[in-house]
Amino acid sequence: MPSTRLNKVQKQIAKKKGKNASLHENSRDTQRLQRASARDDRLNRLAAIREKQNRHYILRVKAFQSYTLEHTASLTIPEMQKLIEDFLGRDDEELAKLKAERRPGRPPSTRETQLEQKQAMEQGEYTSGFWMPELDKENLKKLKLWSGKWESLPTLRFVRVTKDGRKLESSFPPKGLS
| 158-170 residue pLDDT tens | 999 999 989 999 8
pTM: 0.75
Domain 57-170 has CATH 1.20.1440.170: yes
Helices within the chain (DSSP H only): 5-17, 28-67, 77-88, 92-101, 110-128, 137-145
Sign of the dihedral defined by the CA atoms of residues 28, 31, 33, 36, in that order: negative
3-class DSSP assignment, residue 167: strand
Separation between Cα atoms, residue 91 and residue 162, nearest integer Å:
21
Tens-place pLDDT, residues 124-138: 999 999 999 999 999
Bridge-based pairing of strands 167-170 and 158-161 is antiparallel
DSSP 174: -
Tens-place pLDDT, residues 8-46: 888 888 888 777 777 888 888 889 889 999 999 999 999
